[in-house]
Chain A
Amino acid sequence: MSEVQWPWQYNFPPFFTLQPNEETRKKQLEAWRDLILEYVKKTKTGIVDVQEADTMPLFCNAAISRKLSPEGIQAVLEMLHQKGNAEPVDKTKVRWYIYWHTLSEWADIMYQHAQENGLVNSVCTLYELINTPDKEFTGLNEEIMIKILERLQKDEKAELILSDDRSGSGVKFF
């Protein structure tokens, strides 16, 4: 896991205040989106909890004693949701899945991986997939992996075999 390259905005105090001006806020939120996706990609973070988010270095810059307010975090996540980069786990919108690739992008990546590695028409476990070395999805959150595979299943490119014991779950690519 390499160090996160903080963009210059991260050290700019107003970045952590949700801007009232619409134009300015739009640019601010875009900057946040780039930062968050870069961050979760580097740290392989799959789920963000709004209530715990202010302890994450992502939303809290101790060096300039600024942190993004819960409203700010909510606004950023809503914006990510619209772009397909985030999804609330349930209706309370406290926990969010964050996708640095959108689900359809992920589905393509997974299927391509299956084709390139001769996994088509054979069964492999989720554990196997997640622990494939040196891939972008290496160490991916299990729940997100299931979401990706569900998407593939919808397109009839794979079939998910879920067992009560998570580690026993597997997938068959078509």
Chain B
Amino acid sequence: MDRFEYCTFELAPDESIVIKHLTVRLYDGDNKTQYQRGELTLTSHRLFWQKEITLCLPLSYVQNIVEEEKSMFNLTAGKRLILFLSKAMPGKSLGPSASSSYDYIKLSFREGIQNEFLEALRSTVDAKIWTVQNKSAQQTKLREIKTRTGIVGIERNIVQKQQETSSNINNAFKDLNQLMSMAKEMVEISKNISNKIINRQGEITEDETLQFKSYLLSLGIDDPVTRTSCKSDDDYYKQLANELITALIEPLTSAGGTMLLTDAYCRINRARGLELLSPEDLLNSCLSLDKLPDSPVYLKTYTSGVKVLQLRSCEDESFVEKTYELVVQNTFVSVEQFAQLASVSLVIAKHRLLLAETAGKLCRDQSIEGKYISSATGDIFWTCTVGNIVSTCVYHDSS
């Protein structure tokens, strides 16, 4: 009963009367109520019960309509309808009861149910006219907003564009093919972002801006080489090798001349963006680096089996010298320390220290804990006096 509201019998502009029925009593669940012998009016939106007062029930509450089952013990069978209702909406106007433990009401017809009424009720509930009209009401509201001008209008435009941008981005990541077709827009968006960053130099430090810009610049290959664009595998690898050189020469130089193949793999694929390379393709193209005339980069395999790309201008001797100088400045270093000092990865750091050791420039110190290996300069170290020790490299030996 708590879904009912007190009201006057007034129809809304788009509401129409469907059918009426006399002498009907309302039940709250299974319990009789005081509302008996009233007139029931079905409209397109509501169900009215009238006598001295008027009650109404919006049809949107009605979930299901069932005729009460006939049975031997139920003499009133065939005279009652059960209406199952959804939960009462918050904010509804005042009704005959504030709450009810039942999810259904019964309509009792003194003269029995007329089939016409039952069918009309069912078809009206099924038609759900109220939902259609609610929607159209919302749409007309939106249309009104769109036509508005002035500051609010401009603001709304901006909001709308932002929503479009974000939905574009979402769409782009949903489907790579879509991204391809949207590539142009995406490039423009990224340009906008970088422009914004430049404009905000006051908030972000200049260093960071520069760094971010250099990242943006270091990424991205305009026209990646693909297998389909090449005549043969050999040709493909050679072209890839050329691409590798142009894409990696700068990061290689800034990394001190050596880059792990795994790092190179990440970088090149990051730069290519979409036409990703397989590790095997990368390895093959690295192998064909040697076939190129005057390639400034070559593939080097350490004794440990680790593969690196190395600048041809950086020969082992120059590394030995650099390593030696670094170690001398610090008296002794561990691999970890050296990796930090030279800003290289651990693997490369260890390789360089071993290289310098093999060259007799450094010696190692392995303590009882097995933790340290240390080094000093070959000739000078073994013949000099304590004051002149130009030692030592302490590093972790994993073997």
Tell whether A31 pairs with B382 under 8 Å between CB atoms, given A13-B365, A14-B364.
yes
Q: Which of A13-46 contact B (CB under 8 A)?
A: 13-14, 16-17, 19-21, 23-24, 27-28, 30-31
Complex Cα–Cα for A65 and B366 (A): 11
Contacts of B360 on A, CB cut-off 8 Å? 21, 23-24
Is there contact, CB below 8 Å, between A21 and B367? no
* Chain A 62-81 per-residue mask, 1 if CB under 8 angstroms from chain B, else 0: 00011100000000000000
Is there contact, CB below 8 Å, between B378 and A23? yes
The listed residue (B365, B383, B385, B389) touching A27 by CB distance below 8 A is: B383
Complex Cα–Cα for A9 and B385 (A): 8
Contacts of A8 on B, CB cut-off 8 Å? 385-386, 389
* Chain B 360-371 per-residue mask, 1 if CB under 8 angstroms from chain A, else 0: 100111111000
The listed residue (A21, A30, A65, A66) touching B363 by CB distance below 8 A is: A21
The listed residue (B373, B378, B382) touching A17 by CB distance below 8 A is: B373
Is there contact, CB below 8 Å, between A20 and B365? no
Contacts of B358 on A, CB cut-off 8 Å? 21
Tell whether A21 pairs with B378 under 8 Å between CB atoms, given A8-B389, A14-B363.
yes
Complex Cα–Cα for A12 and B389 (A): 9
Residue of B nearest to A30 (CB): B382
Is there contact, CB below 8 Å, between A24 and B386? no
Q: Which of B371-399 contact A (CB under 8 A)?
A: 372-376, 378, 381-383, 385-386, 389, 391-392, 394
Tell whether A20 pairs with B357 under 8 Å between CB atoms, given A13-B372, A14-B375.
yes
Contacts of B364 on A, CB cut-off 8 Å? 14, 17, 19-20
Is there contact, CB below 8 Å, between B367 and A11? no
Residue of A nearest to B366 (CB): A17
Question: Among the interface residues A12, A31, A66, which one has the most CB atoms of the partner chain B within 10 A?
Answer: A12
Contacts of B378 on A, CB cut-off 8 Å? 21, 23-24, 27
Is there contact, CB below 8 Å, between A12 and B368? no
Complex Cα–Cα for A70 and B288 (A): 49
- Minimum distance in angstroms from B17 CB to a CB of chain A: 104
Is there contact, CB below 8 Å, between A13 and B374? yes
- Minimum distance in angstroms from B368 CB to a CB of chain A: 7
Is there contact, CB below 8 Å, between B383 and A66? no
- Minimum distance in angstroms from A130 CB to a CB of chain B: 37
* Chain A 147-169 per-residue mask, 1 if CB under 8 angstroms from chain B, else 0: 00000000000000000000000
Contacts of B373 on A, CB cut-off 8 Å? 14, 17
Q: How big is the A interface, by class? A: 20 to 34
Is there contact, CB below 8 Å, between A65 and B368? yes
Is there contact, CB below 8 Å, between A66 and B392? no
Contacts of A13 on B, CB cut-off 8 Å? 365, 367, 372, 374, 392, 394
Contacts of A16 on B, CB cut-off 8 Å? 365
Residue of A nearest to B377 (CB): A24
Is there contact, CB below 8 Å, between A14 and B382? no
- Minimum distance in angstroms from A156 CB to a CB of chain B: 43
Contacts of B374 on A, CB cut-off 8 Å? 13-14, 17
Complex Cα–Cα for A9 and B378 (A): 13
Is there contact, CB below 8 Å, between B368 and A67? yes
Is there contact, CB below 8 Å, between B392 and A24? no
Complex Cα–Cα for A19 and B375 (A): 9
Is there contact, CB below 8 Å, between B368 and A14? no
Contacts of A31 on B, CB cut-off 8 Å? 382
Is there contact, CB below 8 Å, between B376 and A14? yes
Question: Among the interface residues B363, B365, B372, B373, which one has the most CB atoms of the partner chain A within 10 A?
Answer: B363
Complex Cα–Cα for A17 and B365 (A): 5
The listed residue (B357, B367, B372, B391) touching A12 by CB distance below 8 A is: B391
Complex Cα–Cα for A31 and B363 (A): 14
The listed residue (A14, A21, A30, A65) touching B392 by CB distance below 8 A is: A14
- Minimum distance in angstroms from B378 CB to a CB of chain A: 5
Contacts of A21 on B, CB cut-off 8 Å? 357-358, 360, 363, 378
Contacts of B385 on A, CB cut-off 8 Å? 8
Residue of A nearest to B388 (CB): A8
Contacts of A19 on B, CB cut-off 8 Å? 363-364
Question: Among the interface residues B367, B392, B394, which one has the most CB atoms of the partner chain A within 10 A?
Answer: B367
Residue of A nearest to B386 (CB): A8
- Minimum distance in angstroms from B160 CB to a CB of chain A: 71
Contacts of B375 on A, CB cut-off 8 Å? 14
Contacts of A20 on B, CB cut-off 8 Å? 357, 364
Residue of B nearest to A26 (CB): B382
Residue of B nearest to A9 (CB): B382
Complex Cα–Cα for A30 and B389 (A): 18
Complex Cα–Cα for A66 and B365 (A): 9
Beyond contacts A14-B374, A17-B363, A67-B368: 13 other A-B pairs, Cβ-Cβ < 8 A, are A8-B385, A12-B376, A12-B392, A13-B394, A14-B373, A20-B357, A21-B358, A24-B357, A27-B378, A28-B363, A65-B367, A66-B365, A66-B367
Top 6 nearest A-B pairs (CB, nearest first) are A8-B386, A27-B382, A13-B365, A14-B365, A17-B366, A14-B363
Q: List 18 A-B contacts (CB under 8 A).
A: A9-B382, A12-B386, A12-B392, A13-B374, A13-B394, A14-B364, A14-B391, A14-B392, A16-B365, A17-B363, A20-B364, A23-B360, A23-B378, A27-B378, A27-B383, A31-B382, A65-B367, A66-B367
